[in-house]
A = this chain, B = another copy of it.
């Protein structure tokens, strides 16, 4: 379950379980609820602030909780709409947000990183990947809009249509991330960047982000349905 620490004015939100060094940090419905509760806590703070998200171990987030999903396929539309709320919340969060991508960011985990203002990625380990095409899975209307808009058209083609794994150096060169750092230094580098931006925190920043990302937010708000969730065979 997500939990919170603090480094000066920077909130550090861990996506994994406290005390556990390695977890996949997948989007279980309870995990989504707890992530929102943790963000509520950050939003309820006062004064200058910024947010960093990260995890410990091999994964930043491995994406959808397929174990849960395969046992609850009748809830798939509701579930995907819940996943979207994480992206929308981060895109409009009224303080600077930096993802410290400590390990693999796959599928919805990659999209979570992409929903932050900035991203720092380990240069020596871990991949950013959208493997949907290889798993015969679709992108939702909102996911498609998020990736194509945030990464730009050709980077979207090169990730969404191939499913390939992008390491830190290439992710930096193609603009998927904004910086890299070696090993555990990724967290310190993300905190350093966030600490420089704490004074922007406030409702005006939230308004600016909501306008900037308006088309993506509109797509993420489209309710998932049989009609718009098309699986290719």
Contact = CB atoms under 8 A, between A and B. Distances in A.
Contacts of A214: 144
A233 interface: yes
Contacts of A156: 212
B212 A162 contact: no
Interface string A203-215: 1111111011010
Interface residues of A, number: 46
Contacts of A132: 204, 208
Interface of A is mostly: helix
Interface of A: 94, 96, 117-118, 132-134, 136-139, 141, 144, 148-150, 152-154, 156-158, 160-163, 175, 178, 197, 199-200, 202-209, 211-212, 214, 230-233
Contacts of A231: 204, 207
A212 B144 contact: yes
Nearest to A97: B161
13 contacts: A94-B232, A96-B162, A118-B157, A133-B200, A133-B208, A138-B207, A138-B211, A148-B212, A149-B153, A161-B200, A161-B205, A202-B233, A205-B232
A175 B158 CA distance: 12
B212 A230 contact: no
Contact of A204 (B117, B133, B153): B133
A199 B233 contact: no
B212 A233 contact: no
Nearest to A137: B204
B161 A209 contact: yes
Contacts of A148: 212
A154 B162 contact: no
Contact of A154 (B133, B150, B160, B197): B150
Nearest to A206: B232
Nearest to A147: B212
